[in-house]
Every structure is written in structure tokens, then in C-alpha cells.
Amino acid sequence: MTETVAAIVAAHRAGSQSPAQTVARSFKRIREHNDPAIFISLREENDAIAEAERLAARDAGVLPLLGVPVAVKDNIDVAGLPTTAACPA
């Protein structure tokens, strides 16, 4: 299933999909794809969903991309995730 960022944001704003539901669906799709070479490290699913739930109470104008799934290359520093550049060492 292909979705656009605009469609995800519209669903969140319309209330037909919550950011937490989008995050949960993203993790489900990653599991179903089952290719560990694609995602070297992921946030804990429960933590990501809980954060989306907490942030959803804020004004959508402040966090317009809340719940939109993103991937960050593992050679970019992200707080709380390892920076590995695909190298186990």
C-alpha cells in the first residue's frame, strides 16, 4: 500500500486515523516485510506509539508531521539510537 504524506496528514486531521495508529501500522508493515537488512535499528515500538499518543494532544499546527513515518540513515546522529553507518563495530 502506497500512501502520501499529504494523505497521512489529512487522515490525522480528519480523525479517521490517529498518529499512534499510523506508527503502529508502520511497525506492522516492517515486521511483515521481514528484511533485517533494511532496518538495522528501530525505536522500541511501544515507546514510539506512546510518544505519538502523548504528542497527539498538542495542536496539529505545532507538529504538522506528527505520526508521519520517516527513516533516518544510520550515519546520521539521532538521540537514543545508535549511529552505526552499517558497521557493527
Determine the pLDDT at residue 21: 96
pTM over 0.95: no
Measured between alpha carbons, how far apart are the two ends of the chain, in Å? 35
Dihedral Cα 77, 50, 4, 75, nearest 10 deg: 10
Which amino acid is residue 4, in one-letter code? Answer: T
Q: Sign of torsion, CA 85 78 66 39?
A: positive
pLDDT below 70 — which residues of the chain?
Answer: 1, 39, 88-89
Determine the pLDDT at residue 42: 85
